[in-house]
Structure 1
Amino acid sequence: MTAASAESAVPAALQEIADDFGQLTGKDRLQLLLEFSDGLPELPARYTDHPELLEPVPECQSPIFLATEVEGTGCEARVRLFFSAPPEAPTTRGFAGILAEGLDGLSAGEVLAVPLDVTGRLGLAEVVSPLRLRGMAGMLGRIQRQVRQKAQVPAA
């Protein structure tokens, strides 16, 4: 995959978020991450009442759980994302907020095409540890696995 095609695989909403982070310096990037933490949507009752339906993301240092819902099959299926992360884990909540805003409502094909290294494009390496960035990549990997299974899209 060329650099241009890798760039084009990033959905517009997620690329816009990456661009926003890229225009900021370290301290301001951390502040924007905290804003995404505050903006993480609440779980719907169907998940708060049944937390066993959420998948844990052990790659994250803080406890986070996620679920995907897929309407339809194949690459055109629509994807919905849901996250549970405690308020006392703002970095993890921020990562979840970025993924929710950048990927929720897209097609399965769009979500599956996102390169796992997209997390590095946010420029957060100077303000959060590599271990935390691996946690965000772990979230994306689990989202893509669930989408692939639920949308019945064969692995590339």
Structure 2
Amino acid sequence: MNLKKLLPILLLFVSFNFYAQGESMKEKKMQIKALKVAFFTTELDFTTNEAERFWPIYNAFDDKQFELRHQKMKTYMRRMNDGSLDKITEKEANIFLAQIEDTEEELFLLRKKFMKNVKTILPAVKIVKLKKAEEDFNRKLLQQYRNKGHKSH
């Protein structure tokens, strides 16, 4: 499995663990959304018109992406952590892999639809910057999570 396929799965596990601890998932999600809005606004220098059109589309995309990852990941995580993987048959493993692939496909199609919609709002340069801003934001969020984990030990 190459890194491009492994990274989304790794991020799913990390984000699942991140949300499973401490504050309610809804509170953390709202905090992250506020930080993301501030970060993207700074990084992308939206015009008023761009911001008014971009955020509703982005928020709908982000909510659906979150829902797909976390609803389905709960099932996957339960399966991976309940000890049943040690007794899984080849047929069951293939079904499990197909379910994971279906979720990845749904996420891919969701992003593709989002990109199509965003192309009607933002110039290509800002879309490329958006991609970088998303990656930078996720990296910073992961770094804060790691730092928070080290401080509590």
TM-score where L is the length of structure 2: 0.34
TM-score where L is the length of structure 1: 0.34
For the pair shown, the structure with the greater C-alpha radius of gyration is: 2
Higher helix proportion, which one? 2
